[in-house]
């Protein structure tokens, strides 16, 4: 996981530099606010550690086949959080997408009877 977190910034920085020059890098310093710094630190440290802790607890208690599909709920909770905190309004396509995610999880988590298999 560390390598996945360390490698992507390098090509992304290079692509930003190629697409926009040095303007984004110069302007970020003048537009930096304490809210942005706090938000970044919260995401990097608090949220990441809490989420990894929760994920490890779930994997210790339940098989991966039961836990892994629940990661599909991440965008649903993201949209719900933005609705509560930012007043985001869900459009038809977002609502339909979240409904499909919940339907897929429901279908995937159900125990279906085995049909046509000899016992």
Reported pTM? 0.56
Q: C-alpha distances in angstroms, 15 versus 26, 28, 50?
A: 16, 16, 31
Q: DSSP assignment, residue 90? A: -
**Res 17: pLDDT:** 93
Angle in degrees, 0-180, between the axes of helices 74-86 and 92-109, rounded to the nearest 10: 140
* CA atoms 54, 59, 64, 67: torsion sign: negative
**Res 25: pLDDT:** 87
Half-sphere exposure of residue 100: CA atoms within 13 angstroms, side-chain side:
7
**Res 92: pLDDT:** 94
**Res 103: pLDDT:** 94
**Res 117: pLDDT:** 62
* CA atoms 13, 49, 53, 78: torsion sign: negative
Measured CA to CA, the distance from residue 72 to residue 93 in angstroms comes to: 17
Helix (H) / strand (E) containing 104: helix 92-109
Which residue bears the tokens 């016992």? 119
Which of the residues in the chain have pLDDT under 70? 1-4, 116-119
**Res 83: pLDDT:** 92
User: Is the CB of residue 73 less than 8 Å from the CB of residue 81?
Assistant: no
**Res 99: pLDDT:** 94
Structure tokens at 26: 């110069």
**Res 71: pLDDT:** 85
Query: Taking the domains of the chain in order of start, what are their residue ranges?
Result: 1-32
């Amino acid at each position: 996981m560390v390598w996945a977190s360390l490698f992507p910034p390098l090509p992304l920085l290079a692509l930003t530099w190629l697409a926009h020059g040095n303007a984004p890098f110069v302007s970020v310093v003048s537009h930096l606010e304490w809210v942005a710094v706090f938000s970044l630190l919260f995401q990097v440290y608090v949220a990441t550690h809490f989420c990894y802790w929760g994920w490890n607890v779930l994997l210790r208690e339940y098989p991966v086949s039961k836990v892994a599909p629940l990661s599909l709920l991440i965008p649903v909770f993201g949209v719900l959080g933005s609705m509560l905190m930012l007043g985001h309004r869900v459009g038809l396509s977002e609502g339909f997408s979240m409904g499909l995610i919940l339907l897929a999880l429901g279908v995937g988590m159900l125990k279906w009877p085995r049909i046509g298999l000899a016992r």
